[in-house]
């Protein structure tokens, strides 16, 4: 396993071990394994570890085709998979829209305040005054019972049969050439700011990588990382395309508009 670990970050070791355990469980028992919602980096790690294997297969699904956070279904090769096997529900927030404005952050904070882990629910979508979220069906009854207020607004949660809204969020993709994969360098290129400003943002604790605060300017970024800058939105490293003849890195990034 030490050979495997060296391709990933030290803090990802626990998740790597978990993926290996899932693979061995499916291989040994011929039974399927459904995971919680995984972020893009975790999906990348799982794909890298399981690879193309006819004996142990996997698929991702987050409730809609373009979901960011997805559950993984790991299963024996003979298994016929359906969307229902992912056990994902779609829920809409009903609130007094004429008087109150809700946003993604408020919904996320309210759900988290109930004591649920982030990996039990997927994307939160907002289009105009409509807000929906995807969630693991096993915690559905708890959400119906406990989520009755977001901010100062009294709310009710309605399950939707199959009508996900298109999110207002749009990703703008671009290709960049950077001198290194350091966090400060990637931020400067993605947001078109100076490297000094990106270093200041990191040192002020305003940057998260895969939803964890990072304060080291030399932190090395990897494929599928999601970077969050307080007040400036998110970007993601879609692909690391390799090096140029001048020994610079070519990367593809997505910036949330």
**Of 251, 253, 252, nearest to 236 (Cα)?**
253
Instruction: Domain 2-82: give its CATH code.
Output: 3.30.1370.160
Residues 255 and 191: beta-carbon distance below 8 Å: yes
- pTM to 2 decimal places: 0.88
Report the C-alpha gap between 112 and 26 in whole angstroms.
31
Report the C-alpha gap between 228 and 207 in whole angstroms.
6
Look up the CATH superfamily of 171-256. Answer: RNA-binding S4 domain (3.10.290.10)
**Of 60, 63, 62, 72, nearest to 22 (Cα)?**
72
In this predicted structure, what is the pLDDT of residue 168? 73
In this predicted structure, what is the pLDDT of residue 1? 66
* Cα 49 from chain centre: 18
Instruction: Domain 88-160: give its CATH code.
Output: 3.30.70.330
β-strands 70-76, 33-38: how paired? Answer: antiparallel
**Domain segments of the chain: what residues?**
2-82, 88-160, 171-256
In this predicted structure, what is the pLDDT of residue 80? 87
Report the C-alpha gap between 143 and 168 in whole angstroms.
24
pLDDT in tens, the chain (257 residues): 677 888 899 999 999 999 999 999 999 999 999 999 999 999 999 999 998 877 899 999 999 988 999 999 999 988 889 889 999 999 999 999 888 888 888 999 999 999 999 999 999 999 999 999 999 999 999 999 999 999 889 999 999 988 899 877 778 999 999 999 999 999 999 999 999 999 999 999 999 999 899 999 999 999 999 999 988 989 999 999 999 999 999 999 999 86
The Cα-based distances of 8 to 11, 57, 169, 213 in angstroms read 8, 22, 30, 18
The Cα-based distances of 82 to 22, 42, 222 in angstroms read 20, 22, 32
């Amino acid at each position: 396993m030490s050979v495997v670990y060296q391709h990933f970050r030290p803090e990802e070791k626990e998740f790597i071990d978990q993926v290996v355990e899932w693979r061995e469980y499916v291989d040994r028992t011929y039974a399927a394994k459904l995971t919680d919602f995984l972020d893009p980096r975790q999906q990348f790690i799982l794909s890298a570890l399981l690879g193309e294997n006819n004996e142990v297969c996997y698929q991702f699904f987050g409730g809609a085709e373009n979901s960011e956070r997805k559950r993984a279904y790991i299963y024996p090769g003979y298994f016929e998979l359906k969307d229902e096997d992912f056990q994902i529900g779609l829920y809409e927030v009903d609130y007094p829209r004429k008087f109150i404005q809700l946003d993604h952050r408020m919904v996320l904070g309210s759900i988290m305040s109930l004591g649920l882990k982030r990996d039990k629910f997927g994307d939160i979508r907002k289009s105009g005054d409509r807000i929906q979220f995807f969630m693991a069906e096993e915690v559905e009854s708890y959400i119906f019972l406990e989520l009755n207020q977001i901010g100062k607004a009294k709310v009710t949660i309605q399950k939707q049969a199959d009508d996900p809204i298109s999110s207002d969020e749009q990703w703008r993709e671009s290709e960049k050439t950077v001198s290194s994969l350091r966090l400060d360098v990637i931020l400067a290129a993605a947001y078109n700011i100076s490297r000094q400003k990106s270093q200041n943002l990191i040192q002020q604790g305003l940057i998260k990588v895969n939803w964890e605060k990072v304060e080291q300017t030399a932190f090395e970024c990897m494929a599928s990382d999601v970077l969050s800058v307080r007040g400036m939105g998110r970007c993601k490293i879609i692909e690391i395309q390799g090096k140029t003849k001048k020994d610079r890195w070519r990367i593809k990034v997505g910036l949330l508009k």
